Structure 1
Amino acid sequence: MKSFKVKWVQDGTVRTSVVSYDAASAEARRAELAKPGSGATDVEVVPVAADGRPLKASKAA
Structure 2
Amino acid sequence: MYELSQEDLAKALELSRLTIRKLEEGHNATLDTLLKVINHFDMLGELYAAIDRNISDNNIISLY
Is TM > 0.5 for Structure 1 vs Structure 2?
Answer: no
TM-score normalised per structure 2: 0.28
Kindly name which structure, 1 or 2, has the bigger radius of gyration based on alpha carbons.
2
Higher strand share: 1
TM-score normalised per structure 1: 0.29
Higher RCO (C-alpha under 8 Å, 6+ residues apart): 1
